[in-house]
Amino acid sequence: MQERLAQLQDMLWTYIPITRQLGLKVDTYDGQRLCFTAPLTANVNHAGTVFAGSLNALLTLTGWGMTWLLMQELELAGEIVIQDSSCRYLAPVTQDFVTICARPQQQSIEQFARMLRRRGRGRLELKVDIVEGTTTVVSFTGRYVVYNDGEQHNSNSPYNSNLIF
């Protein structure tokens, strides 16, 4: 799994250069939760807290990363896009932070894979949170769509899943 996480880190830093400036680090994946980390210092706003735009980008990327990992596990290929999302900022983020994406229920994964194989399009709804101590401070829900029309749209990418947002 460490090799796959290193591949994800490399892909994000290579194909989405802002991830380096945001300080995004692929931290852990235990089969149930994917965690990314980022420092306050690279994402600070005028109030000394994390800039909401940085939070939204990192939450979106964490959901994208979970989708990519699931596709690798299922040996599926396609372009991942975010179709829509909602983000609730419940409290300011005041320190280095961790984004946590929970693996979706097995039934959702099976339906996603079945639709992608059958129709060339699958959808996943994912939840990503930022928690400080025991308090959820940001809650994000995103709907990710994967398209597989048999064409490689990003010929520069050596990976099965293209980076499309």
- Which structural domains are found in the chain, ordered by start? 2-163 (3.10.129.10)
Alpha-carbon distance 48 to 60, whole Å? 22
Alpha-carbon distance 128 to 138, whole Å? 8
Phi, psi of 156 (to 5 degrees): -80, -15
3-state secondary structure of 139: strand
The pLDDT score that the predictor gives to residue 163 is 44
The pLDDT score that the predictor gives to residue 24 is 97
Predicted TM-score of the model (pTM): 0.90
Alpha-carbon distance 28 to 81, whole Å? 23
* pLDDT tens sequence for the chain (165 residues): 799 999 999 999 999 999 999 999 999 999 999 999 999 999 999 999 999 999 999 999 999 999 999 999 999 999 999 999 999 999 999 999 999 999 999 999 999 999 999 999 999 999 999 998 889 999 999 999 999 976 554 544 444 444 444
The pLDDT score that the predictor gives to residue 149 is 72
Answer for the pair 12, 160: CB distance below 8 angstroms, yes or no. no
Amino acid at 135: T
